[in-house]
Structure 1
């Protein structure tokens, strides 16, 4: 980033256990200090619930200690050039200068480095879906842009809004592959190009901030909630992955189904095996599980398939379009902390080459919900089940370390407690305007 650009202030963000981006702002004139020394942030912020409250039983719900949030200068980018606002991802460190063991971005970076030590590169890119709505006094949803599913009519109806969003991405230097109206009412989607795991997570955080800002400028509200409305599709945050070791692409050029190499088969088998535990990271809100309904393209079964949009893991083989083969993790939504999710996926990749799991089962063709009982295992149907699998995961305990893993279990328990006794409609309403934290 050219330091001569007229940046005036920098928003430094990190993403906490409940998936919310938190921020400290510094003048651009002191940005070097924010990189080298950082700014203060209490560990209690990881005890925040999705509504902004703090669960008193959380292990981090205490007034002690302080951390330093350091900006990563490699991620410095524009937030809003016309007003002098810039953005940078942050990472938390101990005041002693040691990395903070429960920092989510640090976990992702450590797993990335571990793979690099074996000459393995995991590349990732997210899909980002959101609804845009008019503001209403009672908080109900009023689609701001009319038009049919994937419809050009919706693009034309919302062309000013779409132009502003795309201009904001381009001005921020945020690379995107594709933009289109999605299936749901007032819903849009971006797809991002593949990059390293840490940068892919950074891009998702940055993009959500830009969408929120542009929506606000139009007097609109945006929702990244997994299920903003009952009876309609939710918002996914599908994760696309590819892996390469030296000159070998794990997901193409092999003799396996869809061109899989042995390493690719081992990776998919390991991901399938760990999916129940990973679900607590991919779908961390109680409302997330209302989205994961059978026969709705949300893929709530523990299966994989080739170009099967009802499989939790969808292999997209390489073809005449020249795009490298990649794997789509379809169950993820945008409440997920992307650093935690990608860190955990990288930990699974590492285990896949160190301790290969059982052989890859057969790919599923068609809707798994229509298969005879027992042929397609359902993934956890609620956060309670997913959290139990996460808590019992030896792989995630070891790769994350005790502080990060146990504090995440505490956060999952807090979310379960927050939503206990709510009917489906109340649950949807309580999370509709995610990621706004708290009833503010």
Structure 2
């Protein structure tokens, strides 16, 4: 279970004793080290590792790491803000023992997500996981609302990269085809086994549209655990694929043309165990609160794109008529709108109804993404925002006049446009706080500068094996 309390010097109550006991159990199972994992502003998973015997010490006093990583770019260059990016200072990484997992795909290792605090014992304002925990805690305290969330993970199986970093898909079968399942059946069977051994509830794993592409969907959990699971699932996919001789890429666009890898978010709001997206008197069973929550997300989508599609390469994926959701529109089960209202099957709707956010990819930090989406939705809920009319079919078919009349706009077509919208969205930046908001802007600007002058093919190659 996710630990919702902030870490404190000396350890959260009971954590040191629990860590000592866990270390003994892990050693008995042949686990030699623990991966301490977090995700930076550029969406890159960063880690430190410790010997298993040091777990109790880490629970008490954390593990040191520089705050400079909050302004690392995907290529490991460093940008700065007024408070981040210097070589000064230190942070302490504290493992969430409730999420510690033995890695089935990496024998000898366990894994745990971390929260970060300062040397003085205060929550680090640049910690995305702490940000998400605060948003979730505030929603429960101020609105009586909890959330369930899940992150879809799409990726591409490839042969080992060529000498020039080129891409050769590991399977050549048709999209969604049985051939792909057969050709990669041994690897995907091992992947399912590893995920099950790690306690991850897999709903489906199947071939997808693009060359070599697969998708795994996992069960919905509280948002912090859902973000943790997204990171853990990718770690597991990469490890299992490597043992079978394959490389994987979660990059938004592995090649310049065609369908890219998404990271769609499923999100539902609950009060007292009742799903607000089902059983209500508004459209498709939504309650008034669920409609306003959806309207809040819809209104902030242009600015949110700087968080949900945070890389220059994200915009090779965000193309019309490719199910990427690139228009400010919603619809029931409409895969071309940015927000897809899912009602679920009759008889199961009270559990299954949710909102799917489509313009999201796996270059996005899942903690930042979920926190910002929830903040936007709560802003709509608080203001009783009205949800406009739904769109059916592909919004790309609408003429300019009809689209304008129905409030349908194209989402940013470049990271530069997304950052401009983010700068203008004061409520979203306020939810993040100045340190995180400035880090988002600085890192996005740094990514843009790093790829200036590249054509689409070069851009895809630059990020192909980074994510």
Instruction: Give the TM interval when normalised to the shorter protein.
Output: over 0.9
Match of 1:44 among 60, 68, 71: 68
Match of 1:373 among 392, 400, 403: 400
Q: Residues 58 and 225 of structure 1: is their aligned pair in 2 closer, same or farther, counting only changes over 3 Å? A: farther
Moved over 4 A (4+): 56-59
Q: Distance in 1 between matches of 2:315 and 2:79?
A: 22
What are the superposed Cα offsets for residues 57-96 of structure 1, whole Å, 9 maximum, x if unpaired? 7852211110001111011001237732000001110111
Q: Aligned with 1:25: secondary structure?
A: strand
Match of 1:128 among 137, 141, 153: 153
Superposed displacement of residue 248, structure 1: 4.1
Which residue matches 1:93?
117
Contact 2:105 2:236 (8 Å CA) reproduced: no
Q: Distance in 2 between matches of 1:332 and 1:372?
A: 26
1:317 and 2:343 matched: yes
Superposed displacement of residue 353, structure 1: 2.8
Listed as ranges, the matches of 1:133-212 within 5 Å are: 133-135=158-160, 136-212=162-238
Match of 2:378 among 333, 342, 350: 350
Contact 1:58 1:410 (8 Å CA) reproduced: no
Q: Distance in 1 between matches of 2:148 and 2:118?
A: 29
Which residue matches 1:432?
464
1:364 and 2:391 matched: yes
Match of 1:66 among 68, 72, 90: 90
Match of 2:440 among 387, 408, 432: 408
1:78 and 2:96 matched: no
Residue ranges of structure 1 left out of the alignment (5+ in a row): 436-440
What are the superposed Cα offsets for residues 224-273 of structure 1, whole Å, 9 maximum, x if unpaired? 01010122210000000111122542211122221111001101111110
Q: Distance in 2 between matches of 1:89 and 1:321?
A: 36
What are the superposed Cα offsets for residues 289-329 of structure 1, whole Å, 9 maximum, x if unpaired? 11111111111001000110000000011332614211100
Q: Distance in 1 between matches of 2:106 and 2:313?
A: 37
Q: Distance in 1 between matches of 2:82 and 2:440?
A: 9
Which residue matches 2:40?
16
Contact 1:279 1:331 (8 Å CA) reproduced: yes
Q: Distance in 2 between matches of 1:171 and 1:417?
A: 43
Q: Distance in 1 between matches of 2:454 and 2:347?
A: 47
Q: Distance in 2 between matches of 1:314 and 1:17?
A: 27
Contact 1:242 1:325 (8 Å CA) reproduced: yes
Q: Distance in 2 between matches of 1:331 and 1:321?
A: 29
1:232 and 2:234 matched: no
Which residue matches 2:132?
108
Which residue matches 2:363?
335
Q: Distance in 1 between matches of 2:106 and 2:81?
A: 44
Which residue matches 1:298?
324
Q: Distance in 1 between matches of 2:276 and 2:76?
A: 42
Superposed displacement of residue 111, structure 1: 0.3
The count of residues paired between Structure 1 and Structure 2 equals 434
Cα RMSD, aligned residues only: 1.6
Which residue matches 1:245?
271
1:418 and 2:446 matched: no
247-256 vs 97-106, which deviates more?
Answer: 247-256
Contact 1:289 1:381 (8 Å CA) reproduced: yes
What are the superposed Cα offsets for residues 105-156 of structure 1, whole Å, 9 maximum, x if unpaired? 0000000101111320111001100001112222111111231111111101
Q: Aligned with 1:80: secondary structure?
A: coil
Which residue matches 1:266?
292
TM-score w.r.t. the length of structure 2 is 0.90
414-423 vs 16-25, which deviates more?
Answer: 414-423
170-179 vs 204-213, which deviates more?
Answer: 170-179
Q: Distance in 1 between matches of 2:83 and 2:63?
A: 23
Q: Distance in 2 between matches of 1:28 and 1:305?
A: 49
Q: Aligned with 1:83: secondary structure?
A: coil
Q: Distance in 2 between matches of 1:220 and 1:334?
A: 19
Residue ranges of structure 2 left out of the alignment (5+ in a row): 1-17
Q: Distance in 2 between matches of 1:349 and 1:241?
A: 10
Contact 2:79 2:446 (8 Å CA) reproduced: yes
Contact 2:296 2:381 (8 Å CA) reproduced: no
Q: Aligned with 1:143: secondary structure?
A: coil
